[in-house]
Amino acid sequence: MTQEFLDYITREQTLTLWTYPRTGRHCLIEEKHGDGKQLICFQTMDSRPFNYYIRVDSSLNLDHEDHEVLNSRDTDEFGCFSEMIMRMIEEEHDNIDRYQEQEDGLYTNDQDRDEGHPPFKYKWPMFSLGAGYSYGVVDVEAGIRAMIRNTPVPNKE
């Protein structure tokens, strides 16, 4: 997995969900778990059509049930794989569930109000679990082939 590939999957693009185009970027989580040689795609119902990409240890076998993926040390800390992933995202991008939505559609919480922070509008990639999530291993080799196919060949002038 190269930096060029990570840049490619997180480039700005327009994707369609339910016939509505949305322009944005997938989000690469900077923190790595373990050796970071396995790439996971994590998507919440609220983040669609965009995804979070997380680099996790290559020893993790995602063919197991969610609660069986992690080693005992990580299980003691996080409980299960999905909790670890969600915590990694929240640590970088906060979690909208910590806030209350006001009538005007802006978000705030008691601590922010007490500290004089103004309400804000939700913006991707702030974590929002919504109605659920899904995740899976990214086939990096297939992704690199797609990147090569979609990269324009420079003119030889």
Residue 61: pLDDT band (50, 70, 90) is: confident
Q: Any idea which of 32-41, 49-58, 64-73, 122-131 has the lowest mean pLDDT?
A: 64-73
Do residues 40 and 54 make contact, with C-beta atoms less than 8 angstroms apart? yes
Predicted confidence (pLDDT) per residue in 63-97, tens digit: 777 667 777 778 777 888 888 999 999 999 998 88
Strand-by-strand arrangement of the 27-32 sheet? 27-32, 52-56, 38-44, 133-137
Domain segments of the chain as ranges: 3-95+131-150
For residues 21-32, average pLDDT? 93
Write out the DSSP string of 40-109: EEEEETTTTT--EEEEE-TT--TTS-GGGSS-HHHHHHHSSHHHHHHHHHHHHH-BGGGSEE-TTS-EE-
The larger pLDDT score, comparing residue 2 to residue 71, is at 2
